[in-house]
Amino acid sequence: MPAIILVEPQLGENIGKVARAMLNCGLTDMRLVRPREPDWQTGKAVAAASGATEVLAAAREYPSTEAAVADLNQVYASTARPRDMIKPIATPRAAIADMAARIAAGDGCGVLFGRERSGLVNDDVALSDTVITVPLNPGFSSLNLAQAVMVIGYEWYLTTLEDGEAPASFLPTGATRPARKQELSNLFDHLERELDTCGFLRVVEKRPSMVRNLRTMLTRAQLTEQEVRTLHGIISCLVDRGGGRTPDR
């Protein structure tokens, strides 16, 4: 996993928030370069970590950015686009894809984050191989430190999931299961029979499109087997409340 390296963080509270965001994303290698507050493993940092104390407990302190990145093969700087350096710039997604490939190959990677107010200094950016810039509202792009770590961590965590572990979208049905098409057809038949009986579908030329629209609507609902049974019950119940089937006219 990538190391998260905070360069001269000013507030212990922010160190704690970063620890929480890191653990949310399965990251535990926190490195601090000259944190301003000496009590970052106790005090406000711990409260702000909301339980991510294992990250704080394992964090290490370094006297310089060079020392903090010494064992890494590839360093990324999270910062707005630098003006005076010719250095590759990547979105979080592209940078993380690159990072994941390097880490899979055994390389050590880390991401530098600067001070809360002023960000990274040029010398730190110069130490980095690639700049990561989060695409944001150009009129309001200053990102809170923990938020910046969150975006990078979120992209990282997505790459660690096995295929299918976080399906893009799915419908969990628990103990029941999606209805089979035969079950749906039976429901349609039941409903349409009753709608014929009560006269809802009495206009012959409109009947086909009305039936089609009802079936479309019920199909879109992705009904489960249990819900189909419930709907059968609802139809029967409504019919009974209406006094039973009307006799054939």
Beta carbons within 10 angstroms of residue 6's beta carbon: 26
> What are the CA-CA distances from residue 27 to residues 146, 149, 203 (Å)?
13, 10, 65
Q: Is 120 in the site for its own copies (CB under 8 A)?
A: no
Single-letter code of the amino acid located at 163:
D
Distance CA 95, CA 89 (A): 9
Distance CA 213, CA 180 (A): 19
Nearer Cβ to its own copies (185/230): 230
Q: Is 87 in the site for its own copies (CB under 8 A)?
A: yes
> Cα–Cα–Cα angle for 243, 246, 249, nearest 5°?
160
Binding to its own copies (CB under 8 A) within 123-152 occurs at: 130, 134-137, 140-144, 146-147, 150-151
Least distance (Å) from its own copies to the CB of residue 68? 24
Least distance (Å) from its own copies to the CB of residue 117? 10
Count of residues of this chain found to bind its own copies when the rule CB under 8 A is applied: 55
Binding to its own copies (CB under 8 A) within 42-61 occurs at: 50-52
Binder of its own copies out of 62, 154, 188, 200 (CB under 8 A):
154
Least distance (Å) from its own copies to the CB of residue 164? 12
Q: Is 94 in the site for its own copies (CB under 8 A)?
A: yes
Place of tokens 């490195």: 31
> What are the CA-CA distances from residue 74 to residues 2, 106, 124, 131, 232 (Å)?
10, 11, 13, 11, 62
Binding to its own copies (CB under 8 A) within 155-184 occurs at: 157-158, 161, 165-174, 176
Distance CA 196, CA 202 (A): 6
Footprint of its own copies on this chain (CB under 8 A)?
A: 17, 20-21, 23-26, 50-52, 81, 83-84, 86-91, 93-95, 98, 130, 134-137, 140-144, 146-147, 150-151, 154, 157-158, 161, 165-174, 176, 222, 224, 227
